[in-house]
Amino acid sequence: MAIKRIQAPLTESVARSLKSGDSVLLSGTVYTARDAAHKRIVEAMAAGQPLPFDPQDAVIYYVGPTPAKPGQAIGSAGPTTSYRMDAYSPALIARGQRGMIGKGKRGPAVVEAMQQYGAVYFGAIGGAGALLSKCVRSAEVIAYDDLGAEAVRKLTVEDLPLTVVIDCEGNNLYETGRQAYLAAHSK
């Protein structure tokens, strides 16, 4: 399968062109946020306070990197499990968030919001933090520094290898991939 090259921020038309199972290489600006940062962002949104970044067309990477060694842009930086962000993602998607990078299942409310507003869920390889860190050109803490590894960082990435797990129509590789494997091996 041909690998698609895409840019972040992610436009709605590009997001809608991506299909579950596609391999992509993502370049551009992504923001990191995990559990604690999501909680603060969504609380700030509800209170009408300023946000660390504009959610419109933003791609958020669920990652808490290890500290960078001297000379590195970032330490190891693989995805964390996404379902812990399920409580917060629908509100962000409603505000324009276009992409999520993580690993593991998503809840029905997230998938519904993705279908309604046009957002994509990408899988990065869990447990491949050393490999993925090589795609990060720069990293800068832009909010919630007190959260340490969980602070919000602005990353510039180049050719970050991802798989489209759930597309804007709600097709889910975790379901179809397993079914296809089992169908091919049931004979």
Partner 1 sequence: MREIQASAITAVVKRLCIEANCHLPQDMQECITRAHAEEDWPIASEILERIMENYSIADTRNVPICQDTGVACVFLEIGQDVHILGNIKDAVDEGVRQGYAEGYLRKSVVGDPLRRVNTGDNTPAMLYYNLVPGDAVRVTVAPKGFGSENMSQLKMLKPSDGVEGAKDFIVRVVEEAGPNPCPPIVVGVGIGGTFDQCALLAKKALLRSTDARNPDPYYASLEAELLARINSLGIGPQGFGGKTTALAVNIEVAPTHIAGLPVAVNINCHVTRHKSEVL
Q: Which is nearer to partner 1, 47 or 184 (CB)?
A: 184
Q: Minimum Å distance from CB 171 to partner 1?
A: 13
Q: Considering the complex, what minimum distance in angstroms separates the CB of residue 48 from partner 1? A: 25
Alpha carbon distance 130, 141 (integer Å): 20
Question: The tokens of 18 are what?
Answer: 């991506």
Smallest distance, partner 1 to C-beta of residue 13, A: 26
Q: Which is nearer to partner 1, 93 or 136 (CB)?
A: 136
Q: What span, in angstroms and rounded, lies between the C-alpha atoms of 67 and 57? A: 28
Q: In the complex with partner 1, which residue's Cβ is closer, 54 or 170?
A: 170
Label residue 65 left, alpha or beta by phi (over 0 means left) and psi (-120 to 50 means alpha). beta
Burial 162-177 (b: 16+ CB within 10 A, else e): bbbbbbbeeebbeeee
CB of 95 to partner 1, least distance (A): 25
**How far is the C-alpha of 84 from the C-alpha of 105, rounded, in Å?**
10
Write out the catalytic residue numbers: 38
How far, in Å, are 89, 90, 157 from residue 33 at the CA level? 11, 15, 15
Residues that bind partner 1 (CB under 8 A): 36, 63-69, 72, 75-78, 80-81, 83, 103-105, 123, 125-131, 133-134, 147-150, 161, 163, 173-174, 176-182, 184-185
Which of 63, 93 has the CB closer to partner 1? 63
